[in-house]
Amino acid sequence: MIRIANYINGQYQAPLTNSYIPNYNPSDGAIYGDIPDSDASDVQAAYKAAETAFPEWSTSTLEERSKIMLRIAELLDENLQKFAEAESKDNGKPVSLAKVVDIPRAASNFRFFGNAITQFSSESHESTGLNAVNFTLRQPIGVVGCISPWNLPLYLFTWKIAPAIAAGNCVVAKPSEVTPMTAYLLGEICTQAGLPEGVLNIVHGLGGSTGQAITEHPKIKAISFTGGTATGAHIARIAAPMFKKLSLELGGKNPNIIFADCDYDDMLQTTVRSSFANQGQICLCGSRIFVEASIYEKFKTDFVEKVNALKVGHPSKEDTNIGALVSKSHLEKVKSYIDIAKSENGKVLAGGEEVTVDGFENGYYLAPTVIEVSSDECRVNQEEIFGPVVTIMPFTSEDEVLQMANKVKYGLSATLWTNNLKRTMRMSQSLQAGIVWVNTWMMRDLRTPFGGVKESGVGREGGFEALRFFTEPKNVCIKY
C-alpha cells in the first residue's frame, strides 16, 4: 500500500484532515494505496506557503527560473521509467504509451516554458505628437490555482504549472483524485531541482472539497482548469462573481472527416490512433468519423479489420495497444453508451464487450468499439463518451459533412483528410473548433494556441497565450 502526501512549502505533509481516500489500480481493480482527502484547511496551508514564496519568486531573474525549470525537465527525463510505470498503474494506460507520450511531454512542458519565458515580451507604443510613450508591464498574478483531470495526468498537470511558475506566480495545484501518483512524485523532483519552497504546492483530494476550496479561495486570483464541461460550468459560476481570471479546457466530441482524395493508408493508420489512443480517453480523440460515400464500404472493412487486430491487455505488456479504462464507474458509463447506441439502431461493427485479461479478471477492460450510426443526431454522436468508442457514417457532400461536424455543443478539435487545398482552406475556416488538423492528428507544437470553442472551453493555453493568461497586463504611459 502506498500512502501519498500533500506537497506544501517544499515538504511532504499528511492532510490536516487526517482522512484518506482509496486509490485503485485499473488494471486489476485492486486498491493499491490511499491519497489525502484534503479540505479547505489544507488548501489554506498551501495558499499561505504560496503567498509567502511569491515576493521572492516573482522578482527572481528569468535566468534563475529558467535554470530550475530546465533542471526539472532533466530530472523527469532521468526518471522516465519510474514515472511511466507510476502513470500506467494509476491510469491503466500502457506503460509504452506513458514512456513516449505522457512523461516526455511533461518534461517538455517544463523545458518549453523555461525557455519561452526568456523570450516573452510585451508591446510599447510611441504616442507621436503627444510626447508620450506607452508600454505594457506583464506582471505575475500572484497565487493561482491549477486543477487537472485523469486522462493525461502529469502531462496536463504540468501544462498548467509550468507556464504559471515561469511567469512568476506561485501555485496551489490539484491533480485528479483518480490519478494522483505522478503529481505526488513531482514534488520530490521539484525539491531536487531547487525550486524554492512554496512556489508549487500540491494538494490532493476530491473535486467537491479540495477543488472547490481552491476555486472558492478569495485570494487565489486565477483558476486554470481542465476537465469536464459540467465541472467547468460549476467553477465558472463560483469564479465569475469573484472576478477571477479563468482558463477552461473542457470536453469534446471531435469530428474526423475523411474525403476520398486523401492519402488512404496514412489516414487509416492515423484514424486507428485518433480513435483509440489512451483507450480513447483523450479530449482530442476523433470520436465521430465521417467518411465520403465513395470510399465508405472500403473504409469500413479496412478499419474494422485494423481495430479488431488491436490487442487489449495488461498495461505493463509491451504488445498491449489498449490498456484498462481509468475506473470502474467510467467503464460502466462507457458501456452504457454502447447500450444507448443499440437502442438507437446503431450497429456494433467491432468490440462492444468487456474483455477479460488472464490473471487480471477484475481490471476495467473494454474492446475498442466501432458503431455504425444512421443519424448524426443520435446520442452517441452528440454526447462525449470519452472511451474506446467511435461512430462511423457516410456523407455525400462537403456542405453536408460540415453541418454534421458543427452540429454538436462542443468545439475542441477537428481532423480533416483531403489533398484538396481549396477545400482544406474552406473547411478550416468553417469548422467550429479551436484546433483543425489536416492530414494528421495530435501533432503538437507547444507554441500554438490550444483550446476550444462553444462548450469545449474558454481561453487558450500554449505558448505565449499561456504566459499571457498567467500575467496581468498593465499599461504605463509616460509623458516626456
Q: Which residues are catalytic?
A: 249, 283
**Nearest approach, Cβ of residue 217 and ligand NAD (Å):** 11
Q: Residue with C-alpha cell 490532493?
A: 204
> CA-CA distance, 142 to 160, in Å (whole number)?
15
The alpha carbon dihedral of 451, 186, 183, 89 has a sign of positive
Q: Which is nearer to ligand NAD, 235 or 378 (CB)?
A: 235
Residue in 39, 90, 384, 465 binding ligand NAD, rule: CB under 6 A: 384
Q: Which is nearer to ligand NAD, 211 or 352 (CB)?
A: 211
**The one segment of 3-11, 106-114, 259-267, 451-459 that binds ligand NAD by CB under 6 A:** 451-459
Binding flag, residue 147, ligand NAD (CB under 6 A)? yes
Q: Which is nearer to ligand NAD, 8 or 283 (CB)?
A: 283
DSSP 4: -
x-marked contacts with ligand NAD along 339-378 as a string, rule CB under 6 A: ----------------------------------------
> CA-CA distance, 87 to 176, in Å (whole number)?
12
**The one segment of 76-84, 226-234, 375-383, 388-396 that binds ligand NAD by CB under 6 A:** 226-234
Which residue of the chain is nearest ligand NAD when measured via CB?
207
The alpha carbon dihedral of 325, 331, 337, 340 has a sign of positive
Q: How many residues bind ligand NAD (CB under 6 A)?
A: 31
> CA-CA distance, 436 to 141, in Å (whole number)?
31
CB 141 within 8 A of CB 472: yes
> CA-CA distance, 91 to 88, in Å (whole number)?
5
Binding flag, residue 168, ligand NAD (CB under 6 A)? no
Binding flag, residue 286, ligand NAD (CB under 6 A)? no
Q: Which of 80, 442, 58, 450 is nearest to 286 (CA)?
A: 442
3-state class percentages of the chain: helix first, strand second, coil last, to nearest 5 = 40, 25, 35
> CA-CA distance, 156 to 224, in Å (whole number)?
11
Binding flag, residue 231, ligand NAD (CB under 6 A)? yes
DSSP 241: G
Binding flag, residue 155, ligand NAD (CB under 6 A)? no
Binding flag, residue 285, ligand NAD (CB under 6 A)? no
List residues binding ligand NAD (CB under 6 A).
Answer: 147-151, 156, 174, 176-177, 207-208, 211-212, 215, 226-228, 231, 234-235, 249-252, 283, 384, 386, 412, 452, 456-457
